[in-house]
Copies of this chain bind each other. A is one copy, B any other.
Amino acid sequence: MSASLTKDEIHATITAMGEKARQAAYGLAALSADQKNDILRAMARELREQTETIVAANAHDLAHAKEKGLSSAMMDRLRLDTTRIEAIASGIDQVAHLHDPCGEILTETLRPNGMLIRQVRVPIGVIGIIYESRPNVTSDAAVLCLKSGNATILRGGSEAIHSNRAIADALQKGGEDAGLPAHAIQLVPFTDRESVVALAQMDRYLDLIIPRGGKGLIETVVSLARMPVIKHYDGICHTFIDQAADPAMAIRIAINAKTQKPGVCNAMETLLIHEAISPTLLPVLAAAFGEKNVELRGCNKARAIVPSLIPASEEDWSTEYLDFILSIKVVSSLEEAIKHINQFGSHHSDCIVTSDEKAAEHFLSHIDSACVFHNVSTRLADGEEFGFGAEIGISTDKIHARGPMALRELTTYQYRITGEGVIK
């Protein structure tokens, strides 16, 4: 794509995009919720109208992917058809219905000297999104950023470049007809690694980077970025079945957390079970997981109860299987469970099943994770389930956004202070 471009040319192009994005952001910040919603609906309309163009662009990407020998799973992630484009468009219409958080007054304080201090929610400014194969991210991410008043610079993967360009063009063009500032949504026209370097160093214009994709991509962004990065690497989620757990509920939650959709970040990877309840419950659980064809790997104590378990190695405790595999560890106390989760987990989502309110309270306040659940499956760690409408991702970081990240997390605040000549 950009084999003929030098490093300097890539940096210059991206810097120019940054400058334009900053100007667009000032325009976006001044739009009302109604104006933004009109723009979103116009974008959805244009996307629908451009269906043929987008499918044609996608065919280009698919042909190239086939030549490169991409797996059928990867090909499926890349594929767009009328149904999928309609789904993207109706996703935009839904975002138009969400509450706009901008302008909310978070705190208001009148000081003795007469200063009235209002902390007002405002857009962040310019957000960089770096992602891999799925072309729907182009729309999903740009649209959430736009609804919260931010300009975006999108940098997708090389496999989806034609699809991404067609989608981004439709969004920007459709939006402009309804008053979207120029350059509010920009797609980086090349996909070399150098374009990631250029974005990551452009702290003058990019206020935040959100990488979405594999660990390698995220690691690259983290090591290069001069601005904040919000991300999650892994979802090593735990369910701890306490001695005071209701057995039927424990089985229901454990089976759901592991098997309902094992390939996602909020699925359970390790089951911890209290030794007092293991002798009776573990055999039943093992049978239930067996019916779902889940491979079970257990610690020595677990294998003493269910000898058919595969021996778990030390690496199992820190492995995200994303598959029908589960590691099981018998623990002698609530404290041991907490220690294990804080040490081996990824601080994403962890659950305790218990009828003991005190144990639950202790667990919830001692686990250092974004979401901690009591008698609720970790699969519920999700922006839609939390009622946020849509999420741009899940953060296992602690700064600014933690857990499901939605419109509110795409904003910041500003102090607006008024007075009558206050100088002290």
Contact = CB atoms under 8 A, between A and B. Distances in A.
A418 to B, nearest CB: 4
A208 B398 contact: yes
A112 to B, nearest CB: 9
B222 A399 contact: no
Nearest to A351: B417
Interface in A214-235: 222-223, 226-230
Interface string A309-332: 000000000000000000000000
A220 to B, nearest CB: 12
Q: What range describes how many residues of A lie at the interface? A: 35 or more
Nearest to A419: B376
Contacts of A422: 375-377, 380
A417 B373 contact: yes
Nearest to A367: B414
Contact of A375 (B222, B223, B372, B420): B420
A50 interface: no
A416 interface: yes
A402 B414 contact: yes
B228 A368 contact: no
B379 A417 contact: no
A73 interface: no
Contacts of A376: 115, 417-419, 421-423
A366 interface: yes
Contacts of A249: 420-421
Given A399-B412, A417-B372, A222 B228 contact: no
A418 B111 contact: no
Given A125-B398, A399-B208, A364 B111 contact: no
A207 interface: yes
Contacts of A403: 414-415
Nearest 6 A/B pairs, CB to CB: A256-B423, A400-B400, A376-B419, A249-B421, A228-B399, A376-B422
